[in-house]
Structure 1
Amino acid sequence: MGNSISEFSWVGSQENFVDLITVNNIKHVSIGRFGGNSLEGQYKNEDGCLIWIDEKVNWEFTVILDAHHSAESAELVLEQFSKRKLDIQLILSLPYEQTLKNIEGTIVNLFQEDAFLTACRKVKGETACLIVLRKDKYVWWFSIGDCISYVFHPELANRGQYQINQRQFYEWVGLVNTFDQIVPCYSSGIRELRKGTNCIFLTTDGLIECPNEPFSSPKEIYNVMRRHQIDEGVNKLLQSIKRNSVKDSTTIISWEVNITKEVARPSDE
């Protein structure tokens, strides 16, 4: 099973990309990173991300992290995914209806593991964490905190619909940890993609909380992405926030999926 899977993992404490924009590819998935402007006082990067792709079974599993106070909590989350990699990838290899039924419980268990909770109590700071899985014509997401994901498609854009998850403040994993409470708080869901080309887009909040707010509206991000190839679009977005003197680091993961299957349409069409 593992042979057909491409993997990538990074945290900003390894390489911070302050003053530097980089756009790389893992197969068909683009990863854009900008560590923020040193002129605005930035000197570290506390973002992180994880990407697993299986082109044979046809899925992408992505995690994006935005830590604060230090990158330790993001490092710990990535370590936990690495430990549970075989369990998760086994579920991802199942038929899509079984994957989508079982994935949420698996992720909740991963965050509630005793050894992980104990380790979280010892780190400096905490992290937002957003997980997005695309399998078949569906997108499943699991969100803790304020990272953002979008699906860009003309049919949805015509109705003003872009965002997948809603940002939630005061939710984290780490020293302050929603999974260390009696009832953990997170949001999750499943969406059917539209027929044709869908662009899936994840970002940390540096992109939308930039001075002059060039991308505070999802429509502005959509307009850039639809005019360019994925890599070029991601690069344009990062160049724009760099020019607008953003301090915060920004990490973007984006890729396109072409859906040929039938999807839900209104009955009176």
Structure 2
Amino acid sequence: MKNSNLTWVGSDQTFVDEIDVTTVQSITVGRFGGNSESGSYKNEDGCLVWVNEAENWEFTMVLDGHKTAQSVELVINQFIKNEYEIKRVLSESARIALKKLDHLILDIFQDPVFMESCRKTTGETACLIVVRKEKYLWWFSVGDCILHLFHPELIALGERQLVQRSFYEWVGEVNTFELPVPCYSTGKKEMRKGLNQIFMTTDGLTECPGVSFEEATEVQKVMSGMGLDEGVKFLLDEIKRNHVRDSTTIIAWSVEIEETASLPSDL
């Protein structure tokens, strides 16, 4: 039986000088800890992947820590602690589940015990959560991780990137959720009929010298021209070849949607 979950913190296995591409059911996960010759010696990324094909959903998370990986481990453990409740919500229809998820994820981050643990940790992390339920994509983002959605109809209109880098937001020692008004971004997107490709990454991919992967168009060209595993490996090979220092974690998968999506009334 194929694995239906993956949990990883960069401090456990750094992947410095090493590219790893693995699959969790239909999802491809790529990890690279940067080049030691460029100064990389640790990995403060992390990820969490849960898949339930029977209930038609995927729950994914990428994290990009700062200073240490302690905050990454703290956030992942907090979600594992709430795994039963998250999966219970996702077992419902998209109409109900994604509305409940808005409140549930906020509650998880604002849990007083968790927030107290954040105050005691060293360093902080960006965190991007992406859920696909039926034909809908849902996301919750703190910080500067990136989400793209590739589909021919959207590409024709110049739409590829759903979540851009948002700076000075974190969870951990410095904590967005300690503010009088917590700052984060969240959204929902109806996916189009046909093949939709979901791509999320930490910012090592976009900060590499000598490549232009900060442009969603360049990432899409690679991913559209290859299979998922091959595309993710190509991107990681390219940043390794161009001496990237920062670590990069990529999660990508494709979903075939059979239902017709919304169209303007004059068509």
Q: TM-score range by the shorter chain?
A: over 0.9
The aligned runs of 1:70-109 (5 Å cut-off) are: 70-109=68-107
Query: 1:198 matched to which residue of 2?
Result: 196
CA shift at 1:213, angstroms? Answer: 3.4
Whole-angstrom CA distance in 2 between matches of 1:168 and 1:80: 23
1:162-221 Cα distance to aligned partner (Å, 9 max, x none): 111122100000000011122110110100111100000000000011112321210000
Whole-angstrom CA distance in 2 between matches of 1:113 and 1:267: 44
- Is the CA contact (8 Å cut-off) linking 1:4 and 1:54 kept in structure 2? no
Q: Which runs of 5+ in 1 are unaligned?
A: none
- Is the CA contact (8 Å cut-off) linking 1:130 and 1:147 kept in structure 2? yes
CA shift at 1:6, angstroms? Answer: 1.8
Q: Which runs of 5+ in 2 are unaligned?
A: none
Whole-angstrom CA distance in 1 between matches of 2:249 and 2:43: 10
Query: 2:141 matched to which residue of 1?
Result: 143
Whole-angstrom CA distance in 1 between matches of 2:25 and 2:216: 26
Whole-angstrom CA distance in 2 between matches of 1:43 and 1:4: 32
CA shift at 1:266, angstroms? Answer: 1.7
Query: 2:167 matched to which residue of 1?
Result: 169
CA shift at 1:237, angstroms? Answer: 0.4
1:236 aligns with 2:234: yes
CA shift at 1:89, angstroms? Answer: 0.7
Gap change, CA 1:5 and 1:249, over 3 Å in 2: closer
How many equivalent pairs are there? 267
1:14 aligns with 2:12: yes
Whole-angstrom CA distance in 1 between matches of 2:198 and 2:81: 26
Give the TM-score normalised by structure 1. Answer: 0.97
- Is the CA contact (8 Å cut-off) linking 1:65 and 1:74 kept in structure 2? yes
Which residue identity is paired with 1:16?
Answer: T
1:55-90 Cα distance to aligned partner (Å, 9 max, x none): 100100001000010000000000000111111111
- Is the CA contact (8 Å cut-off) linking 1:5 and 1:55 kept in structure 2? no
Whole-angstrom CA distance in 1 between matches of 2:35 and 2:176: 31
Which residue identity is paired with 1:259?
Answer: I
Give the TM-score normalised by structure 2. Answer: 0.98
Q: How large is the Cα RMSD of the aligned pairs?
A: 1.3
Whole-angstrom CA distance in 2 between matches of 1:232 and 1:6: 21
